[in-house]
C-alpha cells in the first residue's frame, strides 16, 4: 500500500531541499522555541510540540525575505522546521530530570558543559536509533500510523505552497504573550494569581494563575484532557487538603513527613507541599508505569521491527536508492552510537559526580538498553497519539526504577548512585523525546517528498546547535528563581528525584505514595487517562484552572461551528496557532526575566503600583478575562 503513495514533490523533482538559509533559520527558531518550552516545562511539567507553529513561521519568514533570497521551496521550509523542532524535545528531556541535581544538597550543581553534553548525547542517540525504524513505521505503515503533528505540518506547508498564509496568529500570540508577561513580571501592574477561599471548607482554596501560556496550553490540549487535569487539582485542593485540615486540627504532634509544624498551624500550601505532593508523586509514578505496561505490545512489535531493520539492512539498500527513501547509512548509525557510548564511558564529568569506570560502564549499558527500547516505543506511540501525548515521563520513571534497582544490586548508592541514575535517565528521556519529534518530521517529509537523510542531518544539526542554549536557559532560570520554588516548581524533576530517593534511600512515606497510586488506579478503572489526572493531583490547582479555561474556550468554539466542518477546522487551527504564540511569548519573556535577575542579582522592581488584595484580584481577573475574550475573537473571524 505504501508503494502506491505519491508525495507532493515527486522523487525525480529538481526542487532544492537543503540550504544554508533554511538551516540557519531553523537553528534560530529552535533556540527561541526551545528556551520557551524549557520555561513552560519548569512551570507546569509539560511541553508542547512546535512542529506546526514552526512550519507556519518558516513559510512566513521566507515569503517575507523572498525579495532578498529569492523563492524558497516547500522542502527548504521543511528543513527549517525539522531543524528548529529538535530543540523542544531537548527541552523536555532536560527539564524533566536535570533540576533534581540542583535540589540535592549532597550533589554538586551540574555545570553548563555537563547539561549540554547530556542533551547532545541523548539527542544524537534518539535520532540514530530512529533511523532504521523509518522504513517500517513511516513508509510501510503510512496508512496505519497517522502521526498527527507530522501530517498537520505537511498540510500547512502544502497549503502555503499553494498560496495560503496562516502565520499571522502565531506572531500575534507571541506579541500578546510577551506583552502580558512583561506587565506581570517586569512592571507588576497586577498580581499573577487570583485566590478565593471557599466558605464552609477548612483551608479549601480555589486559585487561578492568570498566565497566557497556560491558557494557550489548555486550548491546545482541548477540553477533555484539560478537564481531567483540573479534576485532579480539585480533588487535591478542595477535597484532600480540607480533609487533612479537618482531621489534623485536633492533633498535638506533627505527622510525618512534616516534623515540626502541627497541621492546625499549616497553610493550605504547606499541606500541599508536605503531603499532597507525595500523594501526587505516587499517582504520577503509577500512571507512568501503567502507560508503559499498556504499550507493551507496541514495545514488542517496535523492537521486533527495529531488529529486522538492522538485520535486513543489506536487503533494503536497493529500496533506498531513490531520493525520497534514502536515509543516513547504517554505518553512520552504528559508528555514531558506539562513539556516544565510548564518550560516556571515558568522560568522568558526564554521568553523576565523578563516578568510577565500573559505574560509568554500568550506566552506559543502561543507557543503550533503555534508550533503544524507548526510542522504538516513542516513535510508534507518537504515530498514534502525537508528541504532546507521548508518555515520556512514564518511560523516564521506568528507566529510573530500573537503573536505580541495578545500582542498588551492585551496591552503588548514596549521592553518587542518585546522581548517576538521574543522568542516565536524562539521556534516555532526551532520546525518547527526540525520537518522537523526528518521527513526526519524517512523516511530514514523506508526505511532501523530502529527502530523509537531509532531514536526519538537519535534526542532528538542530540538536548540536540548540543544546547549549537550552541548557543555558535552564541554568539561568535556576539561578534566578531556584528549582522547586513557586516561580519554577519543576514538577517532573521533583518527581524523578523522589523516585530515585525512594529506591536508593528507602525513606519515603510509602503510605502516601500508595494512596496516590490507588487514586490513579481508580482513574484507570473508570477509563479516565490516569497520567493527566495524576498530574492534576500533583500540581497546584491554580496552575490547572487556566489550562481548563483554555480547554473550555476550545469546546465552546468547536460547539459553535460543529455543523460546518471547514469552519470548525479553521477556528480550531487559528486558536492553536495563537495559543502556541502565547506560550512562546511568555516563555521568551520568562527567560529574559531570568537573565535580568541573574545579571542584576534582583528581580524587576516594577513601577510602584500598590493595589489592595481585593482590587488586585479584580484587576487580574478582568485582564485575564479580556485575554480569553480576545482568543475567542481571533478564532471566530472568518477572514
Residue 473: helix, strand or coil by DSSP? helix
pLDDT of 9 reads 87
Of the candidates 594, 549, 422, the residue with the CA atom closest to the CA atom of residue 42: 594
The answer to whether the CB of 477 falls within 8 A of the CB of 591 is yes
Q: Cβ(448)–Cβ(158) under 8 Å?
A: yes
Query: What gap in Å lies between CA 97 and CA 115, rounded to an integer?
Result: 10
Those residues with Cβ within 8 angstroms of residue 397's Cβ, 6 or more apart along the chain or in another chain: 284, 285, 288, 289, 495, 496, 499
- What does the domain layout of the chain look like in residue ranges? 97-132+177-438+467-639
pLDDT at 1: 39
Nearest alpha-carbon partner for 470 in 116, 15, 218: 116
Cell output for 541: 490547582
Q: Distance of CA 223 to CAs 49, 81, 227, 291, 549, Å?
A: 18, 28, 6, 21, 9
What's the DSSP call for residue 4?
G
- Report CA-CA distances (Å) from 389 to 112, 215, 608: 29, 18, 42
d(CA 217, CA 223): 11
Q: Helix (H, G, I), strand (E, B), or coil: what is residue 515?
A: helix
Q: Do 97 and 421 meet the contact criterion of CB atoms below 8 Å apart?
A: no
For residue 413, give Cα distances in angstroms to 18, 162, 300, 406, 449: 48, 60, 32, 10, 51
Burial of 19 (0-12, 13-18, 19+ CB in 10 A): middle
Residue 211's nearest CA partner among 583, 593, 634 is 583
| Contact assessment for residue 386 and residue 49, using Cβ atoms and an 8 Å cutoff | yes
Instruction: Determine if the pTM surpasses 0.75.
Output: no
Phi and psi, residue 314, nearest 5°: -70, -35
Question: What is the predicted pLDDT for the residue at 300?
Answer: 66
Predicted local distance difference test score (pLDDT) of residue 453? 92
**Reduced to 3 states, what is the DSSP secondary structure of residue 192?**
coil
- The whole-number mean pLDDT for each consecutive block of 10 residues of the chain, a chain of 639 residues, reads 71 82 90 81 70 78 83 88 86 83 78 89 91 81 75 74 63 86 82 84 87 84 88 92 89 81 88 84 78 66 60 55 81 89 86 77 86 78 63 72 78 77 86 87 90 92 91 86 79 76 71 90 91 82 90 88 78 81 75 66 64 82 92 74
pLDDT of residue 230: 92
Report how far residue 185's alpha carbon sits from residue 589's, in angstroms, rounded to the nearest whole number: 9
Distances (CA, A) of 573 to 53, 349, 568, 637: 10, 45, 9, 12
Supply 299's cell numbers: 514495545
Cβ neighbourhood burial of 51 (10 Å; 0-12, 13-18, 19+):
buried
298: three-class secondary structure by DSSP: helix
Assign 3-state DSSP to the chain and report helix, strand, coil percentages, each to 5. Answer: 75, 0, 25
Q: What is the pLDDT of residue 549?
A: 94
**Residue indicated by cell numbers 507541599:** 273
Amino acid at each position: 500500500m505504501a508503494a502506491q503513495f505519491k508525495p507532493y514533490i515527486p522523487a525525480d523533482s529538481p526542487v532544492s531541499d537543503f540550504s544554508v538559509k533554511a538551516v540557519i533559520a531553523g537553528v534560530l527558531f529552535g533556540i527561541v522555541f526551545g528556551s520557551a518550552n524549557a520555561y513552560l516545562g519548569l512551570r507546569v511539567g509539560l511541553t508542547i510540540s512546535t512542529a506546526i507553529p514552526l512550519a507556519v513561521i518558516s513559510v512566513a519568514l521566507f515569503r517575507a525575505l523572498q525579495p532578498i533570497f529569492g523563492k524558497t521551496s516547500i522542502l527548504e521550509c521543511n528543513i527549517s522546521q525539522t531543524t528548529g523542532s529538535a530543540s523542544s524535545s531537548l527541552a523536555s528531556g532536560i527539564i524533566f530530570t536535570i533540576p533534581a541535581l540542583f535540589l540535592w544538597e549532597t550533589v554538586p550543581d551540574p555545570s553548563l558543559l555537563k547539561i549540554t553534553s547530556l542533551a547532545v548525547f541523548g539527542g544524537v542517540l534518539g535520532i540514530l536509533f530512529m533511523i532504521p525504524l523509518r522504513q517500517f513505521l513511516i513508509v510501510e505503515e503510512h496508512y496505519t500510523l497517522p502521526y498527527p503533528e507530522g501530517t498537520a505540518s505537511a498540510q500547512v506547508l502544502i497549503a502555503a505552497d499553494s498560496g495560503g498564509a496562516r502565520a499571522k496568529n502565531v506572531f500575534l500570540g507571541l506579541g500578546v504573550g510577551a506583552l502580558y508577561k512583561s506587565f506581570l513580571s517586569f512592571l507588576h501592574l497586577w498580581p499573577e494569581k487570583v485566590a478565593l477561599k471557599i466558605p464552609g471548607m477548612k483551608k479549601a482554596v480555589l486559585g487561578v494563575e492568570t498566565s497566557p501560556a497556560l491558557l494557550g496550553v489548555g486550548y491546545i490540549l482541548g477540553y477533555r484532557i484539560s478537564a481531567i487535569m483540573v479534576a485532579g487539582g480539585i480533588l487535591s485542593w478542595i477535597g484532600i487538603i480540607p480533609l487533612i485540615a479537618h482531621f489534623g486540627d485536633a492533633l498535638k504532634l506533627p505527622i510525618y513527613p512534616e516534623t515540626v509544624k502541627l497541621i492546625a498551624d499549616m497553610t493550605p500550601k504547606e499541606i500541599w507541599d508536605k503531603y499532597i505532593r507525595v500523594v501526587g508523586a505516587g499517582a504520577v509514578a503509577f500512571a507512568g508505569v501503567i502507560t508503559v505496561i499498556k504499550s507493551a505490545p507496541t514495545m514488542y512489535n517496535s523492537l521486533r521491527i527495529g531488529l529486522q531493520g538492522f538485520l535486513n539492512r543489506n536487503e533494503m539498500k536497493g529500496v533506498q536508492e531513490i531520493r525520497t527513501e534514502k536515509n543516513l547509512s547504517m554505518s553512520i548509525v552504528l559508528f555514531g552510537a558506539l562513539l556516544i557510548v565510548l564518550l560516556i564511558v571515558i568522560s568522568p564529568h558526564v554521568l553523576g559526580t565523578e563516578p568510577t569506570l565500573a559505574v560509568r560502564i554500568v550506566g552506559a549499558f543502561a543507557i543503550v538498553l533503555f534508550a533503544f527500547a524507548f526510542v522504538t516505543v516513542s516513535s510508534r506511540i507518537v504515530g498514534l497519539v502525537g508528541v504532546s501525548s507521548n508518555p515520556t515521563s512514564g518511560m523516564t520513571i521506568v528507566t529510573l526504577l530500573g537503573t536505580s534497582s541495578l545500582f542498588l544490586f551492585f551496591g552503588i548508592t548514596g549521592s553518587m548512585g542518585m546522581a548517576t541514575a538521574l543522568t542516565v535517565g536524562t539521556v534516555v528521556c532526551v532520546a525518547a523525546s527526540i525520537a518522537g519529534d523526528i518521527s513526526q518530521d519524517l512523516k511530514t517529509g514523506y508526505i511532501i517528498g523530502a529527502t530523509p537523510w537531509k532531514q536526519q542531518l538537519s535534526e542532528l544539526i538542530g540538536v548540536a546547535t540548540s543544546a547549549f542554549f537550552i541548557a543555558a536557559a535552564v541554568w539561568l532560570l535556576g539561578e534566578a528563581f531556584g528549582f522547586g520554588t513557586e516561580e519554577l516548581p519543576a514538577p517532573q524533576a521533583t518527581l524523578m528525584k523522589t523516585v530515585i530517593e525512594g529506591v536508593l534511600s528507602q525513606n519515603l512515606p510509602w503510605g502516601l505514595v500508595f494512596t496516590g497510586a490507588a487514586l490513579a488506579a481508580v482513574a484507570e478503572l473508570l477509563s479516565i487517562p490516569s497520567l493527566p489526572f495524576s498530574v492534576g493531583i500533583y500540581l497546584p490547582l491554580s496552575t490547572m484552572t487556566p489550562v481548563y479555561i483554555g480547554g473550555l474556550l476550545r469546546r465552546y468554539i468547536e460547539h459553535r461551528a460543529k455543523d460546518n466542518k471547514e469552519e470548525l477546522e479553521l477556528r480550531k487551527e487559528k486558536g492553536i496557532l495563537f495559543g502556541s504564540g502565547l506560550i512562546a511569548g511568555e516563555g521568551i519573556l520568562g527567560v529574559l526575566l531570568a537573565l535580568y535577575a541573574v545579571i542584576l542579582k534582583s528581580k524587576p522592581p516594577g513601577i510602584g503600583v500598590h493595589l489592595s488584595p481585593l482590587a488586585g484580584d479584580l484587576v487580574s481577573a478582568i485582564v485575564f478575562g479580556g485575554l480569553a475574550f480576545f482568543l475567542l475573537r481571533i478564532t471566530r473571524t472568518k477572514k
